[in-house]
């Protein structure tokens, strides 16, 4: 099979949902598929330089190829005329397109091109069909859907949701859809090391016997930091010991990021907090190795790739019931699930901090569950089966 993966950008700035293509593509290649990724050189919308990559020609990596195209003429919206021209010229060479992101002009137009060229396509919404997300710029999205996205959804061979909850709450604008519920994958985390813990704790001057609570995600209003910070302040006032690590950034909204930093810096929490900024590579791995708790009390989250990364590292998680893998966390006893209010998050943190043996048990459960359900090879196998089914239907219909 020859498969196209189409995504507006794979820059780290846009977070894990976009970057998942870089995990999926080599896993599909290991299954014997020929995979071509089409994307742009977009690297942020607020003055950042484009990605420093070759344009318009395939780059071979990890068993698949990726082609970057220049954002033009609308850099702000990750649009690329060159990408669409390439797709129009080469669509007939492929069996299927997997398009990532809705309400993104290049993805929406790519779906229209696929439809015109009779190339079957799957759409992955990335949470954009969640009613909470649709409420932002509501009138504009309603108009956009009427002009483009409803037809794209209606004509898609399937819609790829990453959790049952995402599929359940997603709005389809009246279109009938075939739903594929297949989670995202994560790489296997490293086994916890005493040496790594010593290095991290020494670097941040954390006492050895103090549990480390980790938030590792984009600094964004939807992530629930307005719930987490007062919940942590409440625990401090009760005399509970911990150290909080805030790992993340938001180049797209530096004002909000600075607001959160200032809120912590003027709080009693400041003495017990390390703010790292964006983390990647060895430092990210080190934090995942040494954390005792991972927390993400988001107001909505279509999957929560950071949660899965924590789970595979053996960290018990505390999340809200608006993170759409909450049922999986509950059922597997991989952590605790609360509601989007300060008291609920504080109560779960309090319980986790008071009972280290239970933290450890749930951390082991989290790793066991994530290794079985969120490995890229397991995910790729499910996706390949879906691709084969779709292509078989197309072949049968043309006979």
Q: C-alpha distances in angstroms, 15 versus 19, 118, 248, 255, 332? A: 7, 31, 10, 18, 26
Burial label, 53 (beta-carbon count in 10 A; 0-12, 13-18, 19+): middle
pLDDT band at 262 (very low <50, low <70, confident <90, very high): very high
Residue 74's pLDDT band (boundaries 50, 70, 90)? low
φ, ψ for residue 171 (rounded to 5)? Answer: -90, 135
What is this structure's pTM? 0.88
pLDDT of residue 214: 98
**In the prediction, which pLDDT does 70 show?**
94
- The mean pLDDT of 177-188, rounded to a whole number, is 91
Q: What is the pLDDT of residues 189-207, one digit of tens each?
A: 666 666 788 788 888 888 8
Q: Is the pLDDT at 13 greater than 70, yes or no?
A: yes
Give the angle 259-287-295 at the CA atoms, nearest 5°.
55
Q: 């509950």: which residue's tokens?
A: 330
What is the CATH code of the structural domain delimited by 194-373?
3.40.50.2000
Least confident of 252-256, 318-322, 327-331: 252-256
Distance of alpha carbon 77 from alpha carbon 297, whole angstroms: 29
Return all residues near 197 (Cβ < 8 A) that are at least 6 apart: 289, 290
Output 65 or 132, whichever has higher pLDDT.
Answer: 65
The 3-state DSSP class for residue 364 equals helix
pLDDT given for residue 199 in this prediction: 87
Confidence of residue 398 (pLDDT cuts 50, 70, 90): low
Burial class of residue 116 (count of CB atoms within 10 Å of its CB; 0-12, 13-18, 19+): exposed
Nearest residue to 321 via CA among 211, 187, 168, 182: 168
Question: What is the number of other CB atoms lying within 10 angstroms of the CB of residue 282?
Answer: 10
In whole angstroms, give the CA distance from residue 306 to residue 304.
5
What is the pLDDT confidence band of residue 302, given thresholds at 50, 70 and 90?
confident
pLDDT tens digits, one per residue of 241-250? 999 999 999 9
pLDDT of residue 37 exceeding 60: yes
Q: How far apart are the first and last CA of the chain?
A: 19
Nearest to 11 by CA among 72, 68, 84, 73: 68
Beta strands in 29-183 (DSSP E): 34-40, 59-61, 64-69, 96-100, 121-124, 158-161, 179-181
User: Beta strands 335-338 and 317-320: pairing type?
Assistant: parallel
Average pLDDT for 120-139: 92
Domain 2-185+375-398 falls in which CATH fold? Answer: Rossmann fold (3.40.50)
Average pLDDT in the 288-295 region? 95
- Asked if domains 2-185+375-398 and 194-373 share a fold, the reply is yes
The domain ranges of the chain are 2-185+375-398, 194-373
More confident residue, 366 or 394: 366
pLDDT of residue 226: 97
SS3 217: coil
CA–CA dist 359, 382 (Å, integer): 31
What is the token pair recorded at 366? 């989290």
Asked if 82 and 72 count as a contact pair (C-beta separation under 8 A), the reply is: yes
């Amino acid at each position: 099979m020859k498969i196209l993966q189409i995504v507006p950008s794979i820059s780290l700035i846009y977070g894990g949902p976009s970057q998942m293509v870089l995990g999926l593509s080599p896993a599909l290649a290991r299954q014997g598929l020929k995979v071509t990724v089409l994307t742009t050189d977009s690297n942020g919308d607020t003055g950042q330089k484009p990605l420093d990559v070759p344009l318009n020609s395939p780059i071979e990596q990890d068993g698949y190829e990726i082609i970057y195209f220049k954002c033009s003429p609308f850099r702000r919206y990750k649009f690329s005329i060159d990408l669409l021209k390439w797709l129009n010229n080469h669509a007939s060479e492929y069996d299927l397109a997997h398009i990532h992101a809705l309400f993104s002009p290049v993805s929406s137009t790519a779906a229209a091109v696929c439809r015109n060229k009779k190339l079957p396509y799957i759409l992955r919404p990335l949470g954009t069909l969640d009613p909470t997300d649709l409420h932002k710029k509501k009138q504009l999205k309603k108009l956009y859907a009427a002009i483009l996205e409803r037809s794209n959804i209606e004509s898609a061979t399937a819609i790829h949701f990453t959790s049952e909850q995402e599929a359940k709450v997603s709005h389809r604008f009246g279109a009938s859809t075939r739903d594929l519920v297949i989670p995202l994958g994560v790489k296997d985390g490293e086994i916890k090391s005493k040496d790594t813990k010593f290095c991290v704790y020494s670097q941040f001057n954390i006492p050895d016997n103090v549990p480390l609570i980790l938030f590792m995600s984009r600094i964004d209003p939807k992530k629930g930091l307005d719930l987490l910070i007062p919940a942590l302040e409440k625990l401090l006032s009760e005399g509970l010991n911990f150290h909080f690590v805030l790992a993340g950034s938001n180049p797209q909204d530096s004002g909000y990021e600075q607001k959160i930093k200032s809120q912590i810096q003027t709080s009693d929490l400041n003495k017990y907090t390390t703010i790292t900024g964006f983390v990647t590579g060895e430092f990210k791995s080190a934090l995942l190795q040494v954390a005792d708790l991972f927390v993400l009390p988001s107001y909505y989250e279509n999957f929560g790739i950071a949660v899965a990364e924590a789970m595979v590292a053996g960290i018990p998680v505390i999340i809200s019931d608006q993170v759409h893998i909450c049922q999986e966390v509950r059922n597997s006893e991989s952590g605790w699930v609360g509601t989007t209010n300060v008291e609920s998050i504080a109560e779960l943190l309090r319980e986790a901090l008071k009972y280290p043996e239970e933290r450890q048990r749930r951390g082991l459960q989290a790793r066991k569950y994530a290794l079985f359900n969120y490995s890229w090879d397991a995910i790729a196998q499910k996706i390949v089966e879906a691709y084969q089914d779709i292509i078989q239907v197309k072949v049968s219909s043309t006979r």
